[in-house]
Structure 1
Amino acid sequence: MHPADEHAGRRIADLRKINGMTQVALADATSFSTSLIAQVETGKKPASAAFVAACARALHVDIGTISGQPYQAELRADHLEQLIGPIREGLDWYDIGPADPQLRPRPTAALAAVADGMCAKVRAGQLRAVAELLPSVMQEATAAAYSEGTSEAWGVLGTVYRNAYDVATKLGYQDLAAISLDRMDWAGQRASDPVLSALRQYMRALVHMRIGRYVMGGRLIDAGQRLLQQAPEGTERTAMSGQLHLGSSVIAARNGDRETALGHLDQAHLAAARTGEVPKLRWVSFGPTNVSAHRVSALSELKDYRGAVDAADDMRIPAGWPPSRTGRHMVEVANAQLWIGQNDASFKSLLAARKVAPQQTRYDFTVRETVAALVRAQRSTPDTVANLAQWVGI
């Protein structure tokens, strides 16, 4: 089999046949059209995250079985696979005290600076650097939280767990991401930090969105908004509320609810007008730029690809916007451009994503599907496209 033929659609077709399902039956079970299923299965169209989630539920398999994540060969080549085991072990020490009773952790303020530095590296797309640091920093932060017992120390540990979530999500280890979120909640409760707890609900909602549980995702966002009411009024509370509205907009859009999705975008726009750009909202960037980027995401999820591309054309990404967020935005733009036949523009957007956030882009499911579709759309693949395909593992 040609490597470009090993894509999500091909896996869906194989699983469907194993389950004795016709394309019509799969369409009935997923609410996607038979025509789209046929196009995705043959590789004429890329599989979206929503499509994969729906098919995984209908076929009773894990999403990774269809997406192929995590991409073990590339992780081994980049020496990242060997770092996952120590992170898992570090997450397992949470409720039994420090891993090394003799460890004397640095003061909370110093550990907070380390945790913030790790967040900055995630935003810069430096996943390997963070993965290498996580086990030792997690061990030290755990020891500090138990020895000091202060809200600040528990909050630092929560931030470290959040870094573990980011690395796991971006490398395709969704089970590890879910564990990291549970640990983040555990630490957040001890920190008595409503903003951290609300952020955890936001991130948890995104996990449920990825597996097609949109109602649960929406409820978790609502729970986050209620938790925020316990926080002091001010920019942080307003910005986090706006970020939660952005999460709600994409969840509603993926569920096909255009009116609700646009309504949440409007609420987020109002919040952004009050706060302006907030570059470090618990290491989530909120502001007018992020609202515009989420509008592109929501329109894409609603299959309004022309609207998504037009919205992206109207955007101006400011200097200093996080490379990880810029890279993800360019991937979403590339996918929308592919759907409306702008293949050359799609390829250029993927190159932009690779340039700004290479490690993140290499392990992105949407990137693989988009590149594979670009390869299959051309009878003779130019060297430039072939090189990108080889780089992502196709």
Structure 2
Amino acid sequence: MDELPIGRRVAYWRGRRKMSQQVFADRLGKSKSWVDKIERGVRRLDKFSVLYEIADILQVDVQLLLGKDPERRTDALNCIDQIEVEEIRAALERYDSISAYFDAAPCPPPLPDMGKAVTHAWLTYQYGRYGMLTRALPKLLRDAQAADAVYGGDQSQRAAHLLGQVYQIASSVLRKLGECELAWLAADRSIAVSQRADDQLLAGVATTRVCNALAAMGRSRPALELNVRIANQLAPGGRNDSRPERLSVYGMLLLQGAMAASRIGDTATVEDLLNGAHEAAGEVGSDLNHYWTSFGPTNVELHRAAAAVELGDGGRAIEVHQNKIQPALFDAMLPERRAHHLLDLARAYTQIGDAANAGEMLLRGDRLAPSEVRCRPIAHEVMSDVLRRTRGAPPSPIAELAEHMGVGV
């Protein structure tokens, strides 16, 4: 970013905030042509008053637009920023294991301490605290990579297992925040490391992370095929046991396959995979968190509703929520799962033209896990849709949330 012309930086951050040139120009009080010339470098941006106004609209430190590192603020919006993206990228670009082959190995923390840090990171993710997690990820990645490079013997598989989990955590949060290519890289690394950890179930969960990243990049067909192929390998029966851990990973592969199928409009495959996951969840019995999957009967229904939204059937998604999901069991789910579902419901309500209920779902999700609503690009799209469909001025809670999200009212 430092080497980019200032106009390119403006264009980058406008894109991150999901603003069109026209919307950005309107908020700035300029023409679309003026914005286009600034971003292409045809026109100079040399007035500091305008620069500060642009920074305010884009919700970034003006130093970022000037190609400098801003002062880090503890009260910053609880989302990822470009500095954190670059720090995570730098951590993912490390190759400690090959470096240790040629030179002195790095000094990692003890494995028990690493295990506690990884557990804390998973819980931070599942409670929807993405800003806190992205700030911690670079060090966690470096520590886990160092541990994988150094520990040998009986400890090598444990170190690889922990690194595989850290890559999965990184992939999951990066995908949520719209950094899909980095999410794919982290997930791909997780698959390779999981094989060295000699844990088929860890590799199965890593597969779902790869497929989620592929789907987010518009590669839903390969995502569907890979999820189903690995699910078939891990299916209980024959030489495979029927432990809840295996059923959970198998079920999640089917659920993510259903989501990929829904994105390409394959209704029959969606139904088939959801039914398979429902059977697996019935054998598990309740919603558990083996391998951090939160898999069980309630999570299957959350995915059934999400798949209906992807298929454009908002009415069906709302029906599933009202008739298939028990409130007490839903309330027992972790915050990220619940807020994610509320965001899906908001999308469902916009599909049937009910802006009021869509807005209410966003507000409920924001109260539960603010980062899930304020930081995800898809949530910004939903809020924009709610504002467009609202007649007159939006209710003050919606207007306030839209302002926090940086979505123009």
Q: How large is the Cα RMSD of the aligned pairs?
A: 2.6
- Looking at CA atoms only, which structure, 1 or 2, has the larger radius of gyration? 2
- Give the aligned length: 330
Mapped partners of 1:203, 1:392: distance in 2? 26
What residue number does 1:88 align with? 89
1:187 to 181, 186, 193: 193
What residue number does 2:342 align with? 330
Alpha-carbon contact 1:125-1:324 (below 8 Å) kept: yes
How much does 1:380 deviate?
Answer: 1.8
The secondary structure found in structure 1 opposite 2:294 is: strand
The secondary structure found in structure 1 opposite 2:289 is: strand
How much does 1:75 deviate?
Answer: 7.1
How much does 1:374 deviate?
Answer: 1.7
1:250 aligns with 2:267: no
Paired AA for residue 391 in structure 1: H
1:292 aligns with 2:298: no
Alpha-carbon contact 2:157-2:197 (below 8 Å) kept: yes
What is the CA deviation profile of residues 304-340 of structure 1, one whole-angstrom value per residue up to 9, with x for unaligned ones? Answer: 2111111111223424311111111001101111221
What residue number does 2:203 align with? 197
**What 5-or-longer segments of structure 1 have no aligned partner?**
1-5, 13-71
| Superposition pairs of residues 123-272 of structure 1, within 5 angstroms | 123-149=126-152, 150-228=156-234, 232-272=241-281
The percentage of aligned residue pairs carrying the same residue is 27
Paired AA for residue 110 in structure 2: P
Q: Which has the higher contact order (CA 8 A, sep 6+)?
A: 1
Mapped partners of 2:265, 2:105: distance in 1? 54
Mapped partners of 1:361, 1:243: distance in 2? 23
Alpha-carbon contact 1:97-1:143 (below 8 Å) kept: no
Mapped partners of 1:385, 1:140: distance in 2? 41
Alpha-carbon contact 1:201-1:223 (below 8 Å) kept: no
Alpha-carbon contact 1:250-1:297 (below 8 Å) kept: yes
Mapped partners of 1:198, 1:385: distance in 2? 40
The secondary structure found in structure 2 opposite 1:96 is: helix
Alpha-carbon contact 1:334-1:349 (below 8 Å) kept: yes
Paired AA for residue 119 in structure 2: D
TM-score under structure 1 length normalisation = 0.77
Mapped partners of 1:10, 1:130: distance in 2? 29
What residue number does 1:49 align with? none
Mapped partners of 2:350, 2:172: distance in 1? 27
1:393 aligns with 2:406: yes
Paired AA for residue 406 in structure 2: G
Residues 83 and 264 (structure 1), Cα distance of their counterparts in 2 relative to 1, 3 Å cut: same
